[in-house]
């Protein structure tokens, strides 16, 4: 079951990592409501099919010893993402008290502005943006595909479960971010966001260590 957990943790970490898709999710939620942001969050279902197939196909062709080296590199990459996510949590923690002070000061909330079609981004454009973004390609070539290949060695169901849980975690949390963005800036700066980022950073750090240990043990065996 650990491949399912790995997929879920990596998916949640990917959801909170800054990038073009996250920007589209949040901006469309603010401009047009959470449903528009959620639609942007579904873009990987179309764009990543080619990326996953190509990455897994290429990784399955490389010698087994190369997978250990790729796993070690993947550990480094995930470790960097964990560090960057933790840094984002610290920035959010600095913002939260300031927003709370404004709320305590009795500032009256203004009515939300009317929704506008200005700045609207189509689903097809979101798919293209995500497909041309180098991050999904780098992630699947260095992290996702090697883990998926190892899972496939234990049975096709494990490889499918890893990929499925990755997208359940990533898309599910991105939709959650869309709802938070639609609620307003005061929600996005709340303790919920801070602790979500901290939990994602911790989970990614654990995965990074596991990937690095697997890679090193395979290289010295």
Helix residue ranges, H only, 17-155: 20-32, 34-41, 44-59, 64-104, 123-132, 134-139, 145-153
Q: How far is CA 9 from the centre of its chain?
A: 9
What local confidence, expressed as pLDDT, does residue 169 receive? 93
| pLDDT at residue 118 tops 70 | no
Average per-residue pLDDT in the chain? 76
For residues 156 and 87, the model is more confident at 156
Residue among 213, 218, 77 at smallest CA distance from 145: 77
According to DSSP, residue 17 is labeled S
pLDDT of residue 116: 45
The more confidently predicted of residues 129 and 160 is 160
Q: Which two tokens stand for residue 107?
A: 């500032």
169-216 per-position pLDDT tens digit:
999 999 988 888 777 655 555 566 667 667 767 776 887 787 788 778
Rounded to an integer, the average pLDDT of 130-141 is 81
3-state SS string over 168-191? HHHHHHHHHHHHHHHHCHHHHCCH
Is the model's pLDDT at 152 over the cut of 50? yes
Determine the 3-state secondary structure of 55 from DSSP: helix
The C-alpha atoms of residue 95 and residue 3 are separated, in whole angstroms, by 36
Residue 161: the pLDDT is 93
Q: Please give the distance of CA 206 from its chain centroid, rounded to a whole number.
A: 16
pTM beyond 0.95: the answer is no
Question: What integer is the mean pLDDT of 56-61?
Answer: 85
103 versus 127: the higher-pLDDT residue is 127
What is the rounded distance in angstroms from the CA atom of residue 196 to the CA atom of residue 207? 17
Q: What is the pLDDT averaged over residues 74-101?
A: 67
Q: How far apart are CA 177 and CA 75, in angstroms?
A: 26
CA distances from 157 to 16, 40, 55, 146 (A): 27, 28, 18, 16
Contact call for residues 25 and 93 (beta carbons, < 8 A): no
């Amino acid at each position: 079951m650990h491949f399912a957990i790995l997929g879920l943790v990596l998916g949640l970490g990917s959801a909170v990592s800054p990038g073009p898709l996250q920007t589209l999710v949040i901006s469309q939620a603010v401009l047009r409501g959470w449903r528009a942001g959620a639609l942007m969050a579904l873009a990987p279902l179309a764009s990543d099919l080619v990326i996953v197939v190509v990455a897994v196909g290429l990784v399955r062709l490389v010698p087994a010893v190369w997978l250990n080296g790729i796993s070690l590199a993947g550990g480094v990459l995930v470790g960097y993402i964990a560090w960057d996510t933790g840094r984002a949590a610290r920035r959010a923690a600095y913002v939260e008290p300031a927003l709370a002070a404004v709320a305590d000061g009795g500032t009256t909330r203004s009515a939300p502005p009317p929704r506008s079609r200005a700045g609207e981004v189509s689903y097809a454009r979101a798919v293209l943006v995500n497909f041309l973004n180098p991050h999904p390609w780098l992630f699947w070539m260095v992290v996702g595909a090697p883990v998926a290949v190892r899972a496939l060695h234990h049975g096709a169901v494990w490889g499918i479960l890893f990929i499925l849980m990755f997208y359940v975690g990533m898309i599910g949390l991105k939709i959650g971010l869309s709802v938070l963005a639609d609620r307003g800036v005061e929600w996005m700066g709340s303790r919920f966001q801070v602790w979500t980022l901290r939990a994602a950073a911790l989970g990614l750090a654990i995965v990074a260590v596991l990937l690095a240990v697997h890679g090193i043990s395979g290289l010295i065996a």
